[in-house]
Amino acid sequence: MKYKRVMLKLSGEALAGQQGHGINAQVLAQIASDIREVYETNVQIGIVIGGGNIFRGVAASAQGMDRASSDYMGMLATCINALALQDALEKIKIPTRVQSAIQMAEIAEPYIRRKAIRHLEKNRVVIFGGGTGNPYFTTDTAAALRAMEIGAEILMKGTKVDGIYEQDPKKFPAAKKFDKLSYLDVMNKGLQVMDLTAVSLCMDNKLPILSFDLTKPGNVLKAVKGDSIGTLVQ
């Protein structure tokens, strides 16, 4: 394996499958089984999951809702997804711990960096809920931040697209896909991989980002092996 400790960022939408919102049990089971393939190779896995399948904070604030309030609702949505993923992983016998950036002691452990690292060392998959715990920050930024805090070697962003394209491949089928990019390319070209806060945090701390297609079974393992899939930003 190319990496020993990785941070996997899953978009909330990835859990929704074709239905577009909520949690699709079949899709969730597929993602869990993909994660198991990686787990079985003894790679340590941290996961940050978005909440867009349940609540899109930015969309609500665009419609006039207070941005901070809508972001807090989005953070709660990430905790729902974290518990769903924990359940799916534990059903297939993968030990997990959920840590939340927002205190909710009855539901999840609080986020404690050193404890998260200890869990990883004991081969538990650690799922980080609640984003960064602050409004105005995306779950991509949370993934970049947690990746650095736990000493992950790469941030692997699983999406519905197989990498970064010069234009939206759904609207422009002829758009060219990049295999490799620099952080500055991503920022200067305004490429839609992660928000600027997340990208610049990765750049400042030299954390590579791999954007890949999560919906294809087996891709998470390929990504961790270092196979050339998706787009690598470094």
Which positions touch ligand GTP (CB under 6 A)? 97, 105-110, 118, 122
97 or 157: whose CB is closer to ligand GTP? Answer: 97
Kindly provide the residue ranges of all beta strands, DSSP E only, lying in the chain, ordered along the sequence.
5-10, 44-49, 96-100, 109-110, 125-129, 154-159, 164-165, 177-178, 180-181, 209-213, 231-233
Closest contact distance (angstroms) between CB of 183 and ligand GTP is 35
Smallest distance from ligand GTP to CB 24, Å: 26
* CB-nearest residue to ligand GTP: 109
Which one, 17 or 46, has the nearer CB to ligand GTP? 46
Q: What's the rounded Cα separation, in Å, for the pair 115 and 99?
A: 9
Q: Which is nearer to ligand GTP, 110 or 169 (CB)?
A: 110
Buried b (16+ CB within 10 A) or exposed e, 101-138: bbeeeeebbebeeeebbebbeeebbbbbbbbbbebebb
- What residues are paired with 9 via a beta bridge? 48, 157
Least distance (Å) between residue 3 CB and ligand GTP = 23
The two tokens of residue 219 are: 């891709």
122 or 189: whose CB is closer to ligand GTP?
122
CB of 84 to ligand GTP, least distance (A): 16
Give the tokens for residue 229: 């899939």
Nearer to ligand GTP, 118 or 160 (CB): 118
Q: How far apart are the first and last CA of the chain?
A: 19
CB of 182 to ligand GTP, least distance (A): 39
Tokens describing residue 194: 């992660």
